[in-house]
Structure 1
Amino acid sequence: MKSLSIAVLALLIGNLTGCAAMLSPSKENADTRPETLYESRLADASTGKVLSLEALSQKLARADVVVIGEYHGHQAAHLLQSQIQTALYRQHPQQVLSMEQFNLDKQAAVDAYLSGKTGETEFIEDSNAWPNYRASYRPLVEFARQHGLPVIAANAPATIVRCVGRTGPEHLNKLPTSEQAQLPDTPFMDTPAYREKFDATITSRHGAADDAMLERMNNTYQAQLLRDNTMASRILAAREAHPGHQIVHTTGTFHSEEHLGTVALLKQRAPNISIAVVSPVVWPADAETAPSHENQNKGDFLYFIQPLPTEFLDEDREHKAMSARFKRPSDDTCLGESS
């Protein structure tokens, strides 16, 4: 069960893991909880001041990189990402869309679709798009396609990440030179605060771990670092390939909130670039006003959203579902690993 829990956490963290129109920041809605899963409330994290979408986009306009964190599959997050993308384009049409949701080894499939060489279903199949692509990410890619904007497949290859998580960072040494060349020069660059956050997340869910569990946790963390370092390097490569363009990057919030993960590694690799982080915060059902003060370190700007429904109430059914979800295919082996 513990190994299963680590696999679940790896998915949530690694693959991490708006309403029809943004409400204006009037007195009537500034301090009210979002009424639907499409709605969000925007605020400046440093002041707690409520913002309209237009005000937010003006504050983001001069950032070299805008990172919009998300809870994967949350309707408000995906709608807001699309709204910010559009609002920023109106101010600065030189824009690049960078996405955690596509892996760098699928860049050719992304480019083929953008250039009109494949249809959408072909693109989804060829790029191994996430299952919720049509519901969540289609508007972002379509806006880029319709306006001739580059889209960067920013994440590390899924098979490599999975094998690092299973066998450790030494897996990279077994890869062909061509595959190693796609990855960052320092694929496991780290920051202490990120490791502390990761460990705290693990222990808060699962308590103390034995030696075997600690090894699995460390491998999972190295896989996480591989994702973050790859996304940071891909963003910087996009800036070099498209000078003067603003990068809009979409990612699971664990990769960006508190300016950790991908954001911290971006700053390590390129200290002079300006980065703005937009982070989601769940508005508790029993809170009368937005809990902005205790969340102000999560990003430069916050968007408050309703919590998603609880997935399981029956622990036995949850365990069976997770076992099925993470069942390893019989032919799924890493280099040097026995099946």
Structure 2
Amino acid sequence: MAMKPIASLLVALPLLLGCATPQQPRQEIPVTLYDAAVFSADSGKGVTISQLAHQLSEMDVIVVGEHHGHQASHLLQARLQAALYSRNPEQALALEPFDLDHQREVDQYLEGRLGEEELIEDAGAWRNYRASYRPLMEFARWHQLPVVAANAPDEVVRCVGRKGPGYLDGLPSSVRNRLPAQPFREAPGYRQKFLEVMGSNGHGSHTQANRQRLENSYQAQLLRDNTMADRVLVTLAQDPGHQVLVITGTFHSEERMGLVGVLEQRRPDLTIAVISPVILEQPGATPLPAEHAEKGDYLYFVQPLPEEYRDEQRGKAALMEQFSQARKLDCQ
């Protein structure tokens, strides 16, 4: 009998401590490669995942940009997915890593008709699927949520990058009709941003052939953006009231360009939140939200990844190997 007061105190202690300190303290500086420090771009103040989900609970579309393969991006996405679901279970997940022509395989996996290895093989999943996107897919499967294979078919994108926008005119109607009617919409300023990233000022610094290749690459980028935006709009039409969580590379969404710009052109009534990553210049650096406020409504700061190659020649050789594989594609 004498133990009861002590036992009661032990039970109550965590509750008392919980009143004294936040249960989910904000992380102002990411410590490990898995950490992300999230800030509101407007206020510059840090927010927890729980606070972020609360603030986004009424949004139609939430776009989380990522640096592909960065552990912090993918952990944040998984935590946010669950936090959003707890507030609004009417949720759909749209994934850039899956092409729309593999929607059938994604659905079969969600229905339990394919195993994970079969999904990876049959749907052409990216090589980092298990480490990066498995948690998102599994959460959707457990809760019977729709998953949208959002990207344009990879072969079509690569052939547009090689042949130009006119390549779409020769596609079979069964393929062309699955793509947006206007597949090359663009947001103001997006072209210039693309050229700057690609190392061109767009004013004659390349030969005509190189300029044409660069232009074709830009049109291929637009095809991806427009297809992902179209898939989001189709999802909203098919599942009214669903909140769509979009997972994509940050270039497709930051500064409200890319697919976000297309969504705003086609459906200006939608409420859309953009969450963008910022890689710190060096480990342990202090996040400076004000310097990156234009990137999104919310920013999450992450530690830099290690360099892939220190040997410049090995890096070039690896890049050339990728290009050689792309050249094997028949775009006739």
Give the C-alpha shift of residue 78 in structure 1. Answer: 0.3
Match of 1:55 in 2: 51
Paired residue for 2:174?
Answer: 178
AA paired with 2:298?
A: F
Q: Which residue of 2 aligns with 1:34?
A: 30
Work out whether residues 144 and 151 of structure 1, in 8 Å CA contact, stay in contact via their aligned partners in 2: yes
Find the partner of 2:247 among 247, 250, 273: 250
CA distance in 2, matches of 1:105, 1:211: 34
Counterpart CA distance in 1 for 2:24 and 2:255 is 26
Q: Work out the CA distance in 1 between the residues paired with 2:226 and 2:140.
A: 24
How far the C-alpha of 1:315 sits from its partner, in A, is: 1.1
Superposed, which structure 2 residues align to 1:221-232 within 5 Å?
Answer: 221-232=218-229
Distance 1:37 1:329, change over 3 A: closer
- For residues 233-291 of structure 1, the C-alpha deviation after alignment (integer angstroms, 9 at most, x for no partner) is 10000000101000000000000000000000000010100000000011222774212
Q: Secondary structure at the match of 2:231?
A: helix
For residue 203 of structure 1, report the CA deviation from its aligned partner. 2.3
| Residue number in structure 2 paired with 1:259 | 256
Structure 1 counterpart of 2:158: 162
Q: Which moved more, 1:281-290 or 1:177-186?
A: 281-290
The code of the aligned residue for 1:69 comes to: G
Match of 2:83 among 60, 84, 87: 87
Offset of residue 192 of structure 1: 2.8
Rate the CA distance shift 1:324–1:60 in 2: closer, same or farther, 3 A.
same
Cα distance, 1:24 vs structure 2:
1.5
Aligned to 2:314: 317
**Residue equivalent to 1:214:** 211
C-alpha separation in 1, matches of 2:298 and 2:54:
12
Q: Return the offset for 1:191.
A: 2.1
Structure 2 segments unaligned to the other structure (5+ residues): 1-22
**How far, CA to CA, are the matches of 1:178 and 1:211 in structure 2?**
34
Q: Indicate which of 95, 98, 106 corresponds to 1:99.
A: 95
TM-superposed deviation, 1:329: 6.4
Q: Of residues 292, 297, 308 in structure 1, which corresponds to 2:294?
A: 297
Q: Structure 1 residue 71 and structure 2 residue 67: aligned?
A: yes
**Could you report, residue by residue, the CA deviation over 1:54-87 in whole angstroms, capped at 9, with x for unpaired residues?**
1111111111000000000000000000000000
Q: Which residue of the partner structure matches residue 131 of structure 2?
A: 135
* Closer, same or farther: CA 48–116 of 1 in aligned 2, 3 Å: same
Q: Distance in 2 between matches of 1:188 and 1:34?
A: 38
RMSD over aligned CA atoms reads 1.7
Instruction: Spell out, residue by residue over 1:109-162, the C-alpha distance to the aligned partner (whole angstroms, 9 max, x if none).
Output: 000000111111111111000000000000000000010000000000001000
- Flag the 1:121–1:46 CA change in 2: closer, same or farther, 3 A: same
2:159 aligned with 1:195 = no
Distance 1:125 1:45 in 2: 40
Counterpart amino acid of residue 231 in structure 1: M
> Partners of 1:65 and 1:257 in 2: how far apart?
14
Match of 1:146 among 129, 142, 146: 142
Between 41-50 and 185-194, the greater mean CA deviation after superposition: 185-194
State the identity %: 50
* Higher Rg of the two aligned structures: 2
2:24–2:48 contact (8 Å) kept in structure 1: yes
Aligned to 1:236: 233
Structure 1: state its 5+ residue gaps. 1-21
Q: TM-score, with normalisation over the residues of structure 2?
A: 0.90
Range moving further from structure 2, 196-205 or 110-119: 196-205
Provide the C-alpha distance between the structure 2 equivalents of 1:95 and 1:43, rounded to a whole number of angstroms: 24
Deviations 1:185-223 (A, max 9, x none): 000111231111101112269993221111000000000
Measured at CA, do residues 224 and 288 of structure 1 come closer, stay the same or move farther in structure 2, by a change above 3 Å? closer
Q: CA shift at 1:324, angstroms? A: 1.4
In structure 2, what residue type is equivalent to 1:122?
Answer: E
| SS at 2:286 equivalent | coil
| Amino acid of the structure 2 residue aligned with 1:185 | A
1:208–1:329 CA distance, 2 compared to 1 (3 A):
closer
What displacement does 1:23 show?
Answer: 6.1
For residues 309-337 of structure 1, what are the alpha-carbon distances to aligned partners after superposition, in whole Å with 9 as ceiling and x for unaligned?
111111111111111122136752102xx
In structure 2, the residue corresponding to 1:203 is in which secondary structure?
A: coil
